[in-house]
């Protein structure tokens, strides 16, 4: 079947056809680099990586653009509070510029660990101040802005369809607004350029036609996506939290400036749930990829876990679910390496695999087909050749894995036995500490129905 994707803007599953014959333009909202990414953030980037790989599976050349927000993202989406970069600087004692560099590097390291493909273009907000100022100047010339004492704002009342992406009830929002709007004319109006406060010495500020200050959060994506992909491109992605504010405002700006809704398709990944709550940095207890590593899990086990749920469904994260994902991944690795090389891939299986993913990236059904292949009657060499091509899309790096050595040191075996007893006694902290010792010794432990299984890490 042809590729069909769910477009949030139209609320429908639509057949994908590229705007240009020679490439697909894909823009993905990147991280705000004031802190580490948590695994909920990373789930969105995993879905976007799968999208890119499926586009390539369908023969498209993808021009993939990801922004780095290193200025302008205030603590509140309502344009209140402190810039997150300045807040991070005060928390760590580093300069805002150094924080941006450190957490950008950490984000890219997480991407590499999860086998996410590098975008074609990285673009930082602070490298595109001139483009943002030019964009705002056009909006001002067309009458879509007004000035307050703290900044230049977009007047959403000028657009009858503002908020269509989120199906916002603007009248209800206005009636239900319980906070002081300040000088904003409407609850939905948003900052295009914020002025530096009198007497305030910001680390990141620039001169502009409206005064010294810094750009609002939303303008960077509109300006940079238009620069690198044009004001009308194929697909714009992000998390579901971007729908009501950030992406609605991107569309409003671009409609006012260029007369388009920016992207032909708007795709959104859903949240990771932890203890029945959205995972976020503000909770103070978010999980990093490094946390999983410290507890002995392979990063690709988390990638496998995310493949078990459709990107438009919420995924509940538990340690048991991650245990199951790591077990499944290890069994898949073992099966792949148990089969001989040199076979021909099975075209029928590959066709079914592509059809499942072409139905709005249905990764769970594609994974089910993988296990059907593993357990099925095809010749072993055919299975390996087929799974090798499948893994170019799933990104689990099966060919790179090295089988464990059968020679497990007695000391490591004793640690595994102690850990198993701790698990049975529900002494989870002890079990985690023992897993950490096993990992430090260079081994992975897999929990199976028959008890723990040890293998050399790799």
Q: Cα dist. 331→242, 245, 284, 325, 370 in Å?
A: 37, 43, 35, 10, 12
CB-based contact 42:289 (threshold 8 Å)? yes
Share of the chain residues as helix, strand and coil, in percent rounded to the nearest 5: 45, 20, 35
205/129 Cα distance (integer angstroms): 10
pLDDT digits 0-9 by tens, 329-354: 999 999 999 999 999 999 999 999 99
Q: What are phi and psi of 268, to 5 degrees?
A: -135, 130
3-state SS, residue 412: helix
* 328, two tokens: 């499944």
CB-based contact 259:251 (threshold 8 Å)? no
pLDDT digits 0-9 by tens, 21-56: 999 999 999 999 988 999 999 999 999 999 999 999
161/108 Cα distance (integer angstroms): 37
CB-based contact 235:27 (threshold 8 Å)? yes
3-state SS, residue 196: coil
pLDDT digits 0-9 by tens, 210-238: 999 999 989 999 999 999 999 999 999 99
pTM score:
0.86
pLDDT digits 0-9 by tens, 101-123: 999 999 999 999 999 999 999 99
Q: Mean pLDDT across the stretch 73-95?
A: 74
What is the band of 178 on the pLDDT scale with cuts at 50, 70, 90?
A: very low
Per-domain boundaries in the chain: 4-269, 408-458
Using alpha carbons, select from 116, 103, 101 the residue that is nearest to residue 42: 116
Q: What DSSP state is assigned to residue 191? A: E
Could you say which architecture CATH assigns to the domain 4-269?
3-Layer(aba) Sandwich (3.40)
> Which helix or strand (DSSP H or E) is residue 45 part of?
helix 39-57
pLDDT digits 0-9 by tens, 302-320: 999 999 999 999 999 999 9
Neighbour-count burial for 153-185, b at 16+ CB within 10 Å, e otherwise: bbbbebbeebbbbbebebeeeeeeeeeeeeebe
């Amino acid at each position: 079947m042809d590729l069909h994707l769910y477009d949030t803007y139209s609320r429908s599953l639509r057949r994908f056809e590229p705007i240009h014959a020679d490439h697909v333009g894909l823009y993905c909202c990147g991280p705000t680099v004031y802190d580490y990414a948590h695994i909920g953030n990373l789930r969105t980037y995993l879905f976007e990586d799968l999208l890119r790989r499926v586009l390539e599976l369908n023969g498209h050349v993808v021009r993939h653009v990801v922004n780095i927000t290193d200025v302008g993202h205030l603590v509140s989406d309502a344009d209140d509070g402190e810039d997150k970069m300045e807040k991070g600087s005060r928390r760590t004692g580093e300069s805002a510029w150094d924080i941006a560099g450190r957490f950008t590097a950490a984000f890219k390291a997480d991407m590499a660990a999860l086998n996410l493909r590098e975008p074609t273009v990285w673009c930082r907000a602070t490298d595109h101040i001139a483009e943002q100022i030019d964009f705002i100047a056009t909006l001002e010339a067309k009458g879509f802005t007004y000035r307050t004492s703290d900044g230049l704002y977009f007047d959403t009342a000028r657009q009858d369809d503002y908020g269509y992406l989120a199906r916002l009830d603007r009248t209800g929002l206005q009636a239900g607004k319980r906070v002081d709007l300040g000088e904003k004319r409407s609850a939905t109006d948003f900052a295009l350029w914020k002025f530096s406060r009198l007497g305030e010495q910001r680390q990141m500020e620039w001169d502009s036609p409206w005064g010294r200050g810094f750009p609002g959060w939303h303008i960077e994506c509109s300006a940079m996506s238009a620069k690198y992909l044009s004001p009308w491109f194929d697909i714009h992605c992000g998390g579901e939290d971007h729908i009501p504010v950030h992406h609605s405002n991107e569309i409003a700006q671009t409609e006012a400036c260029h007369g388009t809704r920016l992207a032909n398709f708007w795709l959104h990944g859903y949240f990771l749930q932890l203890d029945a709550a959205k995972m976020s940095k503000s909770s103070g207890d978010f999980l990093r990829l490094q946390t999983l590593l410290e507890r002995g899990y392979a990063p690709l086990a988390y990638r496998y876990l995310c493949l078990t749920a459709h990107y438009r469904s919420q995924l509940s994260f538990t340690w048991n679910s991650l245990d199951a994902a790591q077990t499944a991944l290890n069994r898949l690795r073992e099966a792949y390496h148990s089969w001989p090389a040199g076979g021909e891939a099975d075209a029928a299986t590959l066709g079914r695999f592509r059809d499942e993913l072409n139905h709005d990236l249905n990764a769970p059904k594609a994974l089910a087909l993988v296990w059907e292949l593993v357990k099925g009657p095809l010749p072993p060499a055919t299975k390996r050749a087929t799974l090798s091509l499948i893994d170019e899309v799933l990104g689990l790096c099966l060919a790179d894995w090295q089988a464990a050595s059968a020679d497990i040191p007695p000391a490591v075996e004793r640690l595994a036995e102690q850990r198993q007893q701790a698990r049975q006694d529900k002494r989870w902290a002890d079990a985690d500490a023992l897993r950490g010792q096993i990992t430090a010794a260079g081994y992975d432990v897999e929990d199976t129905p028959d008890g723990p299984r040890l293998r050399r890490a790799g």
